[in-house]
Structure 1
Amino acid sequence: MPDSLSSSKSQMKITTCSVDKGPPDANGKSMSLLINPAELSLSRKTDYGGCVPMGDTGSGKKFSKVQPDTLDFSTVFDGTGAVPIPANIELPQDVDDQLQMLSDVVYKYDSEEHEPNVVQILWGRLMFYGRLTTFNIEYSLFRPNGVALRAKATMSFDRYKNPQETALEANKLSPDLSHAVVVKDGDTLPLLCHRIYGDSRYYVDVARFNGLHAFRALKPGLLLHFPPLG
């Protein structure tokens, strides 16, 4: 992941992926949005199973599983010409054609798997692989003949996990999975790297990934992300 991003504007790009049995490969149909989302929502949920035992003093229910991440956002489609289409984006002028192009990428069933495509959503530092779960369109402006001039599409995606990732999750300390760790008193970055990766030498990469400048003295309560080894 780059340390700094270019100040030039980038459009959110959604691309269909082939998955087979390995990681998703973004090599299919794609669409760049004319208007980037104003807001993004990334949700994570952890399930706990069983009942709280009688007389429990605060330990609560036992961990069960982590639900797939959910990504939600909205984008506006404009056919009035008020928002010029950049030269580097292939996008029809008509709103209904733009929506059909989006539908072909995120909603249209894969002909072989008979289920919605796995897509890559790429924007800035965001790279999310998922399947569409919700697709809602609201029209807000029309020509006198009823042709739509503006519409808002709201979408929700569940993160896609390939079989390899699912198998790795059986070993929750695997270095091939992402980890989120809350720093405790006495923790050091080399110690945490040794615990997760089996090698303390990755502390420089983890510090860079988390944007840490003074990482020799970690504050308890700090949330750190440990990316998978690649």
Structure 2
Amino acid sequence: MPETTTRKKERLKLTPCKVSKDGTVEVVDGKSFEVMLNPLNYKRDDSICYKDDEAQGQSASNLKFNVVKPPGFSFDVILDGTGVVDQSAPEVKDQIRKLKDIFAYSGEELRPLVTKVLWGTTIFFGCLTSMSVDYTLFKPSGEPLRAKVTLAFTEFMSQKEESLRANRKSADLTHVVEVRAGDTLPLMCKRIYKDSGYYTQVARLNNITNFRDIKPGTRLFFPPLR
């Protein structure tokens, strides 16, 4: 009988990050929230804002470009305290408390922490813009047993990273590499930096969300190491 292997299902994980003085985004060690059930889907929003310079008395509008808004990212998370999904799961109220702790206000940075969203090959760094909780199942006492949490984020990028992305074609900053067949971002970082761990920073600067699905021929910018 042939031997079969099963691959462990990757769950969506939320990890808080801090922004260092030099503009580098670093993961906060020892803190993360792994969902019990992966989302059924997620939504990514890209939007462009215009100014309407319509003069008084005119019916025609004259839209002028204003700004490109940072991308948005949103999804639903199910929290279950019935024991059906995970018998060792804490109560829903405790799960919500742990989830909120990921977005805790940073007294050092004077704002909530940046969040790293990682699910399989999808990666996104953003600031939480809204969190709504819909309680859907209760004990006879009224204690919640299940809840749907909707999380929405706006992409975060430090001023240093914005500058590097905007100037990635400049001669003094350019280290552009063309993706070859079979390449992945971790593999390319291993080849260039001798450390595959830099793939998250490279993905951010190149606006990549799926770091294992990069088409051959794509040209990527690799920033100089600090």
Q: TM-score range by the shorter chain?
A: 0.5 to 0.7
Shift of 1:112: 1.9
Correspondence for 1:152: 148
Looking at structure 1, the residues matched to 168 and 68 of structure 2 have their Cα atoms a distance apart, in angstroms, of 11
In the TM superposition, 1:62-141 aligns within 5 A as: 64-84=66-86, 92-106=89-103, 108-141=104-137
Kindly tell me: are residues 48 and 206 of structure 1, through their superposed partners in 2, closer, same or farther at Cα, counting changes over 3 Å?
farther
Shift of 1:94: 0.4
Letter in 1 for 2:125: Y
Unaligned runs of 5+ in 1: 1-5, 53-59, 86-90, 178-196, 216-224
Looking at structure 2, the residues matched to 39 and 204 of structure 1 have their Cα atoms a distance apart, in angstroms, of 30
- Residues 151-203 of structure 1 show CA distances to partners (whole Å, capped at 9, x for unaligned) of 000010011111112223543745999xxxxxxxxxxxxxxxxxxx686x625
Quick check: 1:33 aligned with 2:15?
no
SS in 2 for 1:204: coil
Shift of 1:61: 6.0
Correspondence for 2:17: 17
Q: TM-score, length-normalised on structure 2?
A: 0.67
Shift of 1:27: 2.3
Of 43, 46, 50, the match for 1:44: 46
Looking at structure 1, the residues matched to 180 and 89 of structure 2 have their Cα atoms a distance apart, in angstroms, of 46
Looking at structure 1, the residues matched to 162 and 86 of structure 2 have their Cα atoms a distance apart, in angstroms, of 43
Looking at structure 2, the residues matched to 176 and 69 of structure 1 have their Cα atoms a distance apart, in angstroms, of 28
Letter in 2 for 1:25: E
Is the CA contact (8 Å cut-off) linking 1:206 and 1:227 kept in structure 2?
no
Give the fraction of aligned pairs with identical amino acids, expressed as a percent: 31
How many residues are matched? 182
In the TM superposition, 1:165-184 aligns within 5 A as: 165-171=161-167, 173=169
Is the CA contact (8 Å cut-off) linking 1:176 and 1:228 kept in structure 2?
no
Kindly tell me: are residues 167 and 198 of structure 1, through their superposed partners in 2, closer, same or farther at Cα, counting changes over 3 Å?
closer
Looking at structure 2, the residues matched to 65 and 27 of structure 1 have their Cα atoms a distance apart, in angstroms, of 32
- Residues 119-150 of structure 1 show CA distances to partners (whole Å, capped at 9, x for unaligned) of 11111111111110010000011101111100
Letter in 1 for 2:27: A
Letter in 2 for 1:82: V
Letter in 2 for 1:139: Y
Of 189, 202, 214, the match for 2:178: 202
SS in 1 for 2:106: coil
Is the CA contact (8 Å cut-off) linking 2:179 and 2:215 kept in structure 1?
no
Correspondence for 1:142: 138
Looking at structure 2, the residues matched to 135 and 63 of structure 1 have their Cα atoms a distance apart, in angstroms, of 30
Is the CA contact (8 Å cut-off) linking 1:48 and 1:62 kept in structure 2?
yes
- Residues 7-47 of structure 1 show CA distances to partners (whole Å, capped at 9, x for unaligned) of 43011111111212322111242111111111111111234
Shift of 1:51: 5.2
Correspondence for 1:229: 222
Letter in 2 for 1:30: S
Kindly tell me: are residues 105 and 47 of structure 1, through their superposed partners in 2, closer, same or farther at Cα, counting changes over 3 Å?
same
Looking at structure 2, the residues matched to 27 and 175 of structure 1 have their Cα atoms a distance apart, in angstroms, of 34
- What is the Cα-based RMSD across aligned positions, in Å? 3.4
Kindly tell me: are residues 206 and 145 of structure 1, through their superposed partners in 2, closer, same or farther at Cα, counting changes over 3 Å?
same
